[in-house]
Amino acid sequence: MLRPFELYEPSSVAEASELLARHGDAARLYAGGTELLLAMKEGLIHYDYLVNVKTIPGLTGVRFDADGTLRIGAATPHRAVERDPRVRERFPVIARAERDVANVRVREVGTLGGNLCFAEPHSDPGTLLQIFDAAARIERKGGTREIPVGALFVGPFETCLGPDEILTEVAIPPLPARGAAAYRKFGFLERPSVGVAVAVVLDDGHVADVRIAVGCIGPVPRRMPDAEAVLRGRAIEETHAVLSEAGRLAARAADAVSDLHGSADYKQHLVGVLLRRGFEEALTALAVRERP
């Protein structure tokens, strides 16, 4: 049962933004509802008004720029990303990670933008998108800004969006030609306990660039610059020996919390394991791709 509310169905972002400005805390954007409606059914939160963003043209769908940048409309369901043949070909890690979000019913209805904006810490896309240096397009009536996806997250269930701002699109640039990515997660409940994303770019037998993001274990998913620095510039043969150190640094920086998903110690241990596996998976993908 849901406590009664009223529904707006705007036909533009400006209109939706105006409604949010008018009603303040009494209104909330509604897309898939897979997280919002659960919290409302439980009586944890209530809004007098929901603003359905699915009626706004242009917020749903996947497209590519000429330079290969993948643009996903905020109201695009996970399932549409997972099944898109071009995403599968050009961003296989994103297609696979989307395929492993929750279950098929949640993915049919739940949206990428909703997932990011709900900012539930035990989630995958907010971690993975950060190793692509993805940008979030945020619009309000009379203005637009773009920020790194990582900057969206302020705390658990809290984003940097202003009261009348709407996430409309995520732009994901491709990795350099000699780059590959991996996403590893582990958990024993419905949601993951730990998620680790890694991107590796090689040049002449060296790690030209490496990007590491860790999510689920602390309040917000984030990049791990100290762990990246340990690996960047290394010859490939050297990386095996320093991965443990990178894992330790990433685990320490992730603000692990003890909760139902495991103790902080346990999650920190998992960060090291998943980082090693993810890094090696990316190296293997590159080796296979470059095999003569």
Instruction: CB nearer to another protein: give 5 or 266.
Output: 5
Residues 6+ apart with CB under 8 A from 248: 272
Please spell the DSSP secondary structure of 259-284, one letter per residue. Answer: BTTB-HHHHHHHHHHHHHHHHHHHHH
For residue 194, the minimal CB distance to another protein (Å) is 19
Instruction: CB nearer to another protein: give 103 or 204.
Output: 103
Q: How many chain residues interact with another protein (CB under 8 A)?
A: 32
> Of 63, 58, 50, 76, whose CA–CA distance to 11 is shortest?
58
From candidates 25, 67, 103, 205, binder to another protein by CB under 8 A: 103
Contact range with another protein by CB under 8 A, out of 58-66, 100-108, 232-240, 274-282: 100-108
Contact range with another protein by CB under 8 A, out of 3-11, 118-126, 208-216, 269-277: 3-11
For residue 197, the minimal CB distance to another protein (Å) is 21
For residue 289, the minimal CB distance to another protein (Å) is 24
- Provide the 10 A C-beta neighbour count for residue 32: 24
Q: What gap in Å lies between CA 118 and CA 123, rounded to an integer?
A: 10
Is position 264 an interface residue for another protein (rule: CB under 8 A)?
no
Mutual angle of helices 236-253 and 264-289, in 10-degree steps: 150
**62 three-state secondary structure:** strand
Instruction: CB nearer to another protein: give 28 or 234.
Output: 28
